[in-house]
C-alpha cells in the first residue's frame, strides 16, 4: 500500500473499498435502475433499461478504479479525483454505446452518473475528510518534521511503546539506529505494521522530492517514465490544436483590452530555458508596462515579478489572476517547445542565476517545460532562492512520479487555481 493511502486506514467498514463499491452499486446503479423502470411498460424487464443498467455498472467500476488511482497522489484527500474519474468513465461508456449503436436510456445513464458524483462526495464529506494519519516515529534522524504536517498526528515511540491507535511507523533509515531499535523495526514489519523510510513517506505526503543527500543512485532514479513521454507529447499536441479555436474569443478579447489599456505590444516575447537546456522564445500576453521591463539582457531584479509589482497594468493584473496571459503558449506547445503540463520555464537570466545558487537546478530541464505544473498548483509564483529550492522539490517530484494520473490531477488543480487566482503575482 502506498504511504499516501494511509489516511484511509481505519477499522470503520465505511472506508473499506469493497464495502464502498458494493454500497455505491446499490445507491448509484440499482436504485436508479428500479426508479426509471417504473416508467417503462415492461418495468425492470425492459431490455433497454437492462442494457443501460450494465453500462452504468461498467461506468461505476471504471470510475471507482480511476478515482482510487488519482487519490493515491499527495494532497488529493479523495475529493479531487471524483469529478474527473466519473466524467471519464461514463464518457467512455457513452462513447461505446454510441459507437456500437446500443439502445439505452438517457435518463438512467444521467441519473446514475449524477448519483455517483453525489454519493462519493458525501462519502468524502462524512467520513474520509475527517481521517488523519496516526504515525509512530522512531527517534533518530529527520522525523520531527512530521509533527508539523496537516492531516498527520505523530507519536514519538520508545522501545516499550505499544502501537495502539497507530496506522504506520516511520524511521529515518539514513540514521544509524542501535541494535535494539533495528530489532524492534524488524518486529513491527513481521507483525504486519507498515514501516516506511521517513524520506519516502514525507515525499509522498507533501508531493516534494527533497534535494538533500541525493546520492548518485537517487539522482539517476529521478528520471521520468519514458513510456509515458511520447503518448503525453502526442496527446498534448492534439489537445492544444483542438482547444485553441475555442479559446480564440478569450485571446481576441485580451488583445483588445491590452491595446486599449496603453501603448506597447500585445504579445510579450522572452527567451527562456527549455527542454535539455535549449533556449526558446516563449509567448505571453503582455501584462506589464514596456518601460523598464526586464528582457533577456536585463538584470535579475528586472526579471523577477514582485508582490504588487507596480509595473503590472490594470488589464495585466486580471490576466495574471485568471492565467489568461499564458494562453499564447499554446503556440509553443504546437511548435514542440513546451508541454501543457511540466515545470514552468524560467527566463534565461533567472535560470542562470538559479543554477549558480541551487544544487541540481539544471536537472529540471530533463522534461519539457509546461504551461502549468505541479509546483504552480501547489506553491504558486516564487522569486527568492529559498522559494525556488522548494519549487524545485515539487518539480523533482513531478519528474520522478511522471504519470497520466498526476497530469490529470494537475489539470483539476489548475482549473481551481484559475478560478481562485491562487499564487498569481
In tens, the pLDDT along 97-149 reads 999 889 999 999 999 999 999 999 888 877 766 567 889 999 999 898 898 88
Q: Is the pLDDT reported for residue 213 higher than 60?
A: no
Q: What is the mean pLDDT of residues 37-53?
A: 81
pLDDT at 224: 64
pLDDT digits over 241-280, tens only?
A: 999 999 999 999 999 999 999 888 999 999 999 998 899 9
Residues 6+ apart with CB under 8 A from 131: 7, 8, 10, 15
Give dist(CA 249, CA 15) in Å, integer: 46
Reduce the secondary structure of the chain to three states and give it as a string. Answer: CCHHHHHHCCCCHHHCHHHHHHHHHHHHHHHHHHHHHCCCCCHHHCHHHHHHHHHHHHHHHHHHHHHHHHCCCCCCCCCCCHHHHHHHHHHHHHHHHHHCCCCCCHHHHHHHHHHHHHHHHHHHHHCHHHCCEEEEECCCCCCHHHHHCCCEEEEECCCCCCCCCCCEEEECCCCCCCHHHHHHHHHHHHCCCCEEEHHHHHHHHHCCCCCCCCCHHHHHCCCCCHHHHHHHHHHHHHHHHHHHHHHHHHHHHHHHHHHHHCCCCCEEEEEEECHHHCEEEEEEECCECCCCCCCCCCCHHHHCCCCCCCCECHHHHHHHHHCHHHCCHHHHHHCCCCEEECCCCCEHHHHHHHHHHCCCHHHHHHCCCEEECHHHHHCCCCCCHHHHHHHHHHHHHHHHCCCHHHHHHHHHHHHHHHHHCCCCC
- Report which listed range, 32-46, 115-129, 155-169, 293-307, is most confident: 155-169
pLDDT at 134: 86
pLDDT at 223: 60
pTM: 0.76
| Beta carbons of 137 and 157 less than 8 angstroms apart | yes
pLDDT at 424: 58
Give dist(CA 372, CA 378) in Å, integer: 11
- Report which listed range, 59-73, 133-147, 328-342, 402-416, is most confident: 328-342
Q: Nearest Cα to 330, choosing from 320, 342, 340, 322?
A: 340
- Stronger pLDDT, 29 or 126, i.e. the higher one: 29
- Stronger pLDDT, 130 or 79, i.e. the higher one: 79
Q: Is the pLDDT reported for residue 181 higher than 80?
A: yes
Give dist(CA 136, CA 158) in Å, integer: 10
The percent of residues above 70 in pLDDT, for the chain, comes to 83
Q: How far is CA 273 from CA 8, 257, 365, 386, in A?
A: 41, 29, 8, 20
Could you tell me the three cell numbers for 173?
533509515
- Stronger pLDDT, 132 or 363, i.e. the higher one: 363
Q: Is the pLDDT reported for residue 423 higher than 60?
A: no
Q: Is the pLDDT reported for residue 15 higher than 70?
A: no
Q: What is the mean pLDDT of residues 393-413?
A: 86
| Beta carbons of 329 and 299 less than 8 angstroms apart | no
pLDDT at 234: 93
Give dist(CA 235, CA 8) in Å, integer: 33
The upper half-sphere exposure of residue 366, i.e. CA atoms within 13 Å in the direction of its Cβ, equals: 20
User: pLDDT band at residue 216, thresholds of 50, 70 and 90?
Assistant: very low
- Report which listed range, 17-26, 84-93, 328-337, 342-351, is most confident: 328-337
pLDDT at 292: 47
Amino acid at each position: 500500500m502506498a504511504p499516501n493511502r494511509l489516511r484511509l486506514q481505519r477499522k470503520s467498514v465505511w472506508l473499506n473499498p469493497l464495502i464502498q463499491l458494493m454500497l455505491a452499486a446499490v445507491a448509484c446503479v440499482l436504485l436508479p435502475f428500479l426508479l426509471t423502470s417504473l416508467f417503462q411498460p415492461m418495468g425492470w424487464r425492459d431490455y433497454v433499461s437492462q442494457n443501460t443498467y450494465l453500462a452504468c455498472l461498467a461506468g461505476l467500476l471504471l470510475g471507482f478504479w480511476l478515482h482510487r488511482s488519482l487519490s493515491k497522489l499527495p494532497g488529493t484527500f479523495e475529493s479531487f479525483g471524483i469529478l474527473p474519474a466519473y466524467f471519464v468513465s461514463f464518457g467512455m461508456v457513452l462513447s461505446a454505446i454510441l459507437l456500437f449503436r446500443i439502445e439505452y436510456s438517457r435518463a438512467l445513464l444521467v441519473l446514475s452518473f449524477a448519483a455517483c458524483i453525489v454519493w462519493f462526495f458525501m462519502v468524502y464529506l462524512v467520513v474520509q475528510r475527517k481521517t488523519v494519519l496516526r504515525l509512530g516515529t522512531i527517534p533518530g534522524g529527520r522525523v520531527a518534521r512530521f509533527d508539523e504536517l496537516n492531516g498527520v498526528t505523530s507519536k514519538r515511540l520508545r522501545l516499550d511503546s505499544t502501537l495502539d491507535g497507530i496506522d504506520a511507523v516511520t524511521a529515518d533509515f539514513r540514521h544509524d539506529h542501535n541494535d535494539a531499535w533495528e530489532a524492534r523495526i524488524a518486529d513491527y514489519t513481521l507483525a504486519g505494521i507498515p514501516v516506511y523510510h521517513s524520506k519516502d513517506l514525507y515525499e509522498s505526503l507533501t508531493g516534494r522530492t527533497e534535494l538533500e543527500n541525493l546520492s548518485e543512485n537517487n539522482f539517476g532514479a529521478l528520471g521520468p517514465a519514458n513510456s509515458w513521454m511520447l503518448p503525453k507529447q502526442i496527446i498534448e499536441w492534439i489537445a492544444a490544436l483542438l482547444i485553441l479555436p475555442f479559446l480564440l474569443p478569450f485571446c481576441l478579447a485580451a488583445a483588445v483590452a491590452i491595446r486599449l489599456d496603453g501603448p506597447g505590444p500585445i504579445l510579450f516575447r522572452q527567451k527562456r530555458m527549455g527542454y535539455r537546456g535549449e533556449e526558446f522564445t516563449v509567448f505571453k500576453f503582455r501584462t506589464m508596462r514596456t518601460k523598464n521591463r526586464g528582457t533577456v539582457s536585463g538584470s535579475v531584479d528586472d526579471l523577477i515579478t514582485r508582490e504588487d509589482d507596480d509595473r503590472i497594468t490594470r488589464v495585466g493584473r486580471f490576466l495574471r489572476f485568471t492565467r489568461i496571459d499564458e494562453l499564447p503558449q499554446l503556440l509553443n506547445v504546437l511548435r514542440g517547445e513546451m508541454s501543457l503540463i511540466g515545470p514552468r520555464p524560467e527566463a534565461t537570466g533567472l535560470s542562470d542565476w538559479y543554477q549558480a545558487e541551487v544544487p541540481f537546478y539544471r536537472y529540471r530541464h530533463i522534461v519539457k517545460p509546461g504551461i502549468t505544473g505541479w509546483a504552480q498548483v501547489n506553491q504558486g509564483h516564487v522569486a527568492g532562492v529559498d522559494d525556488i529550492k522548494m519549487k524545485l522539490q515539487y518539480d523533482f517530484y513531478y519528474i520522478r512520479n511522471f504519470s497520466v494520473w498526476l497530469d490529470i490531477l494537475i489539470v483539476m488543480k489548475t482549473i481551481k487555481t484559475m478560478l481562485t487566482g491562487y499564487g498569481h503575482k
